[in-house]
Structures are given as structure tokens and as C-alpha cells.
Amino acid sequence: MALLDFHHPWLLVFGILGNIISITVFLVPTSTFIRIYKEKSTMGFHSLPYVIALLSSLLWMYYAFLVKNANLLFTINSVGIVTETIYITIFLIYASKKARVQVIRTKSVEFLPFYLSFFLALNAIMWGGYGTILKDLRIALPNVLGFLLALVQILLYVIYRKAKPVVEENKKVSEHVVVDMKLQETSNQGK
């Protein structure tokens, strides 16, 4: 049973719960990507969270190779690498050129899934507990930051859940300018 050789009984509990919650975190965006596939558009969703999750899984995988008995880190980050790669691929297939390059700021939580933020907070608690019991600050400390960031996302969701998106005034002005210029060109051509 060297695969699950744990010195502390709670280590196994936090490790297994961490894996289950991490799988949930990786699968929460599935409905978003099914929607993107059906609509053949990213519809304002952003790729940054999935790129960061992929990089995070790659870094944790590297760490799992460096330490002993990191089988639970290895298994869950393998799942993370595969799922995040699939999400990013789908995003790139259906993203416009503009969506691939720049993030549009709104006050809408339409593209900030509450359940993802909630499970990210739970995930950070489980892996933070796992690292604490293992007395490995390289696991515990990043999850304190992850927990705080998840709380910020939840707070933003609570603040903006009823807010209407901000309409960019520049777009309206530039559309009117283009229309006015076309009308002026048309009237000048008629003279």
C-alpha cells in the first residue's frame, strides 16, 4: 500500500477530499464550454482563468515529481492538465480575434460562475489542510492565497449579481460618427 502511505489519518481525508473537490472545480466549466460549442462563439467568456488553471496544474505536476509520496497531487493535476487543455482548445476554436487578445471590462457576473468560485474556495481549504498536515508550506501557503482570491470572486459576485452591465459610451459615439460620415459622403456624392 505504498501508493497511499500516509503518516497521519487526516492526510488521507484531506488528500482524497481535495482530489474530489478539484475534479469538481475542473468540471464546473463544462456547461460553459458546451454552450460555447453549441453557439459557435465564446459569447464574452474569457480564457484567462483556464490558462491560469493549466499553468497551475503544470507547476503542481512539476512539484509532484520532485517530492516523495505526492501521488494525490500527481493524479489530480493530470486531470487538470487534460481538462484545461480541452477547454482552451475549444475556446481558441470559437474565439474571435479580439477575444483571443483583450479582456472587456463589465460589471456583469454573467461570465463569473458562482459555483466555480465556491468550489475554488473549498478546493483551497482541502489542499491547504493537506499541506498543513503534511507540514509542507509549498502546498499550504499557495492555497491560503487561492482561498483569499476565491473569496474576492465570491464577494464580487455578491456585489454585482444584480447590477446591469455598463454600456461603453465610446462604442455609441463611434457608431454615430460612422453613420454621420456615411450620410455626409452620400450627400456630397449627390452634389
Q: 17-43: per-residue pLDDT in tens?
A: 989 999 998 998 899 899 999 999 988
**What span, in angstroms and rounded, lies between the C-alpha atoms of 77 and 142?**
15
166 pLDDT higher than 60: no
Burial status of residue 77 (CB atoms within 10 A of its CB: 0-12, 13-18, 19 or more) = buried
pLDDT at position 83 is 93
Higher pLDDT, 36 or 179: 36
pLDDT at position 170 is 42
Cell numbers describing residue 176? 454615430
Q: 62-91: per-residue pLDDT in tens?
A: 888 888 878 888 899 899 889 989 998 998
The domain limits of the chain are: 2-189
pLDDT band with cut points at 50, 70 and 90 for residue 172 = very low
